[in-house]
Amino acid sequence: MTPDLTGRRVVLATRNAHKVAELRRILASAGLDVELVSVEAYPGAPEVAETGDSFEANALLKAHAIAAATGEIAIADDSGLAVDALNGMPGIFSARWSGDLCPDPAKRDEANLRLLLSQVSDVPDERRGASFVCAAAAAFPDGTDIVTHGRVFGSLGREPHGSNGFGYDPIFVPTAHDRTTAEMSADEKDAISHRGEAFRKLARMLAGEPAATRLDAAPSSTHSLSADSSSTPSSPDVG
């Protein structure tokens, strides 16, 4: 059972401005009555290396590190794109897929996207399936945590379209839609996205309500609850 969080400060464990805005929007729309601040409010907070082997492991690493550094509840996620034709890659490497090919962080989204398109350029339309995957974690100063998951299925376009998203949004077309997530409004994207699903579940669990697709309590670490939608190898701050 989670404590009453009304009015509590909760730290979003990311410095990605796009993600901060998205998480604020999703958590606010879910009715979580807390003071949300970015980790930028804590200049001494560490940069946390994503050394885990799954989205969930990386989300927990970040959330626990920031909770320990700030003494506050910390929320983090790890998310990425899993491409069928690449056996689930880029996965947890999505945000750094272009590696040393692009040393400039400001240009990395574009470099990642262009590299991925080149790698699947000869893949026919019927085999361009992909999904965005997210694991969201909340860590408490006492070391306990909560983990939830979200996933949205779709396919890859051949050229970028739209400017409303980030990461791989301009080439990802969700199933049953004819636009990329970068062509959708923020509200449209939040309603169907992997991150929207995972963080709405997390908000409900933090508010003491069962997540809509919650599994039996299953430890993701020594003292944790997990609400699962799907779990896959995984990456940070993309799409």
Percentage of residues of the chain with pLDDT beyond 70: 85
Structure tokens belonging to residue 84: 């069928």
pLDDT tens track for 44-56: 999 999 999 999 9
Q: Would 238 be classed as within a structural domain?
A: no
Q: Would 193 be classed as within a structural domain?
A: yes
Q: Would 211 be classed as within a structural domain?
A: yes
Look at residue 221 in the predicted model and tell me its pLDDT. Answer: 35
- Rounded average pLDDT over 107-128: 95
pLDDT tens track for 162-217: 999 889 999 999 999 999 999 999 889 989 999 999 999 998 888 776 554 333 23
Catalytically active residues, by annotation? 78
- ∠ CA 180-186-191, rounded to 5°: 80
Alpha helices in the chain (DSSP H): 17-29, 55-70, 108-119, 186-192, 194-206
Q: Would 4 be classed as within a structural domain?
A: no
Structure tokens belonging to residue 94: 């999505």
CATH number for the domain spanning 56: value is 3.90.950.10
Confidence of residue 131 (pLDDT cuts 50, 70, 90): very high
The residue range of the domain holding 57 is 9-227
Q: Write down the pTM of the prediction.
A: 0.83
Asked if residue 6 has pLDDT above 60, the reply is yes
90: DSSP letter: B
Number of separate domains in the chain: 1
pLDDT tens track for 58-111: 999 999 999 999 999 999 999 999 999 999 999 999 988 998 888 888 889 999
Q: Would 187 be classed as within a structural domain?
A: yes
Q: Would 239 be classed as within a structural domain?
A: no
Look at residue 226 in the predicted model and tell me its pLDDT. Answer: 46
Q: Would 117 be classed as within a structural domain?
A: yes
> Is 106 or 234 the better-scoring residue by pLDDT?
106
Q: Would 3 be classed as within a structural domain?
A: no
